[in-house]
Amino acid sequence: MALFLFFHKDSDVMKVLTDSVNAEMQSRYVCKYLIFVDREAERVSGYCVATVPDLIDGLIEMKRIMDGKSILEAMCLLPYQHQTTFISIKDIIFPPICNISLEPYLGDAQTHPLESISSHCDISTIIMNRLQKIESCSTVQTIRSKMIPTDLFIHGYSKRYGGISNYPGMKSLNLVYSLRKPDPIFTVKENARRLCRHLGVDHGKYHLAKANHGNKIWVFEHSAPDSYDGIVTRTPGVTVASPAADCNMLLLADPVRRVCGAIHAGWKGILAGVVQSAVEAMVSSYDSDPNNIVASLGPSLSVCCCEFGKDDSKKFESIGDDIVVWCEGKEKPHIDLRLAVVTILEKCDIKRANIDDGANGSNPTKELSTCTKCDPNEDFFSYRRDGPKFGNQVVFICIKD
C-alpha cells in the first residue's frame, strides 16, 4: 500500500505530517510520496518527492508511481477544498481494480486554479491532452509479413514498445482495456493513438475486435454483432485490429478484391470455427476467391510452451495430424495451435504457399514464428509468462486509400 500527500502553495508540510501521519501509518505504507503542486519541493526523511504543475498531473504521476511498483492500493491526503476536484478525476485516472482512499486535511485557504478549470471544462479531454505529453522510454515497433503486399495494405503486429503503460506486465504499449487490469481506459486509448500515428492511419477509424473466444466475425460494412473475434472489411482507410497475448493473431488479405481482415484465434475460437468463419465472411460478403487470399500468423504461444490438459487436447485430434504432441517425460501433451490454424486455412482452400507462419509459405517472415512466452527478448505480451495482469498486442490491417 502507498501513501501520497499533496501540498499546495501555502500548505505547512511539517504541520500536516505531524497532524495527519502518525507512527502507525508510517509503518503501514511500503511507498510514501510527497507531491508538491505548483511550488518548490521540501525534502523530508523517509519520503520520496515529486513536483507537478497541478492536481491532474499530480494524480497522473501518482498512478504511474503505483504502476511502476505494482501497487494497487493507496491513501491520498490533500487539502480539504480540493476533494471535489479529486473525486471528479479519480475514476478517470484509476480503474476499478485500484483501491484509492481519500483523507482531506485542513490546508491553505486559497482556491487552486484547477477548481475553476474543472467547473467548465471536460476533464476527460484535459487528461487525454496530458497523457499525450508523457514521453515513452521507447518507440513504437511493429513487424509485418513479407507476403502481404505493402502497396495495397498497411498491416502488421505490434510489439510491446512505445506506449505509456507502466505496470510491469503491461508495459508499455498495452492496447486492451479490462476492468480486471491496472490500465485505465484513457491510457489504452493513448497507446492506440500512438500506434496509429506510427502507422500513419486515422485513429478515429481504428476498430478493435472484442476477442470473446467465439467464432463470430464482424463484416464492417454491416452492423456489428454483440460479440466478435475478428473484423473483415473492404473499406479503404479503416484499420481493423484484433488483440492477443499468446493466442494466434491471424491476418487475411485478398489483393485481387482489395479486402482484408484481422482475427483473434485462441484455442477456444479455433475449436469453435473462428478461422472458417473469417474466410467464409470474405468469400460470402466480398466474393473473395480463397486461392487469392494471403494469410499470416503473428507471434503466439508456440508448441514448446503450449502444454494442455488431456481432455481438451483430444478436441484437436480431428483437425489434423501432429497437432497434439506428446513430449518424452511429460505427463500432459502440447498443442501446436499455429499448425492447427494453418491446417484449417488449407481446408478452406487457401494455398499453403500463401500462408506465412514464419517458417513456411512462399516468402516466410521468420520473426512471426516467435513464441510469446519464451522469447528471451520479451518483445510481446504473454498471459502465461506475465500472469493475470498482462498486456495485449494487436494484429492490424488497413486498405490504403
pLDDT digits (tens, 9 = 90+) for 322-379: 999 998 878 899 999 999 999 999 999 999 999 999 999 999 999 999 999 999 999 9
Which one-letter amino acid corresponds to residue 106?
Answer: L
Q: Which amino acid is at 190?
A: E
Domain architecture of the chain: domains with CATH: 2-132 (3.40.50), 142-399 (3.60.140.10)
pLDDT value of residue 210: 94
Rounded to the nearest 10 degrees, the angle between the axes of helix 55-68 and helix 123-132 is: 60
Angle at 65 between CA 55 and CA 36, to 5 degrees: 35
Residues 310-326: pLDDT tens digits? 888 999 999 999 999 99
pLDDT value at residue 115: 47
Residue 111 has pLDDT above 70, yes or no: no
Residue type, 229: D
Q: What pLDDT is stored for residue 311 in this prediction? A: 87
pLDDT of residue 41: 93
> Per mean pLDDT, which range of 84-88, 137-141, 381-385 is the poorest?
84-88
Span 76-99, average pLDDT: 91
pLDDT tens sequence across 272-320: 999 999 999 999 999 999 999 999 999 999 999 999 988 889 999 999 9
pLDDT tens across 176-203, in order?
A: 999 999 999 999 999 999 999 999 999 9
pTM of the model: 0.95
> Is the separation of the CB atoms in 260 and 253 below 8 Å?
yes
pLDDT tens per residue across span 140-161: 999 999 999 999 999 999 999 9
Q: Is the pLDDT of residue 208 over 80?
A: yes
| CB-CB contact of 339 with 322 (8 Å) | yes
Alpha helices in 200-294 (DSSP H): 267-272, 274-286
Banded model confidence at residue 114, pLDDT cuts 50, 70, 90: very low
Predicted pLDDT of residue 106: 78
Q: Round the average pLDDT of the chain to a whole number and report it.
A: 93
Q: What angle do CA 383, 214, 357 make, to 5 degrees?
A: 60
Q: How confident is the model at residue 116 (pLDDT cuts 50, 70, 90)?
A: very low
> In this model, does residue 117 exceed pLDDT 60?
no
Residue that the C-alpha cell 491532452 belongs to: 129
CA distance 157 to 199: 11
